[in-house]
Amino acid sequence: MTDSKVFNLNKPEQNDPLQEVLREGARKMLSAAIEAEVTSFIHHHHGGLKTAEGRSAVVRNGYLPGRSIQTGLGEIEVKVPKVRDRSGSGIKFNSSLIPPYLKRTRSIEEFLPWLYLRGVSTGDFTETLKKAMSALNVGTTFLSDRLEP
């Protein structure tokens, strides 16, 4: 007889189809919200800045390397857009949703499942996400275009 003080914790099923659907929905919503945030940053806050050649001074410049954020739904892969400042004035974009070095956050753990489940219950999460993004002063037109099929 072995007396072990080690016990196994039950792990949620890794291949649970419902969990995968929820995680994918959360990833899409988070991506759409980040895209709306960067578009608002470029067009509404710095859209008037021009280079000497008359081109936009602040432009999109690809994505930062993808990273995983731990949420209540498990890990969600996110890609945060990069912004290039052609004028050299040091303008940088940092997402308020996914700040640099964020690995795990309680607010996202609580926010994403609520947002997605609210969208599932009403059949349309666009309005819910618009309300959530209004606090960040993000334009809802871009967000609607990204979320509508």
Let me know if residue 31 belongs to a domain: no
Mean per-residue pLDDT, 114-138:
62
pLDDT in tens, 5-34: 655 444 454 567 888 888 888 899 889 999
Note whether residue 40 is domain-resident: no
Confidence of residue 81 (pLDDT cuts 50, 70, 90): very high
In a domain, 5, yes or no: no
Q: What is the CA radius of gyration of the chain?
A: 19
DSSP string, 103-118: -B-HHHHHHHHHHHHH
Residue 105 within a domain? yes
Q: H or E segment at 84?
A: strand 81-85
Q: Does residue 83 form part of some domain?
A: yes
For residue 44, tell me if it sits in a domain. no
The total of structural domains in the chain comes to: 1
* Confidence grade of residue 121 (pLDDT, cut at 50, 70, 90): low
Mean pLDDT (the chain) is 74
Asked, for residue 137, whether it belongs to a domain, the answer is: yes
16 part of a folded domain = no
128: part of which helix (H) or strand (E)?
A: helix 126-134
Give the residue numbers spanning the domain of 68: 50-142
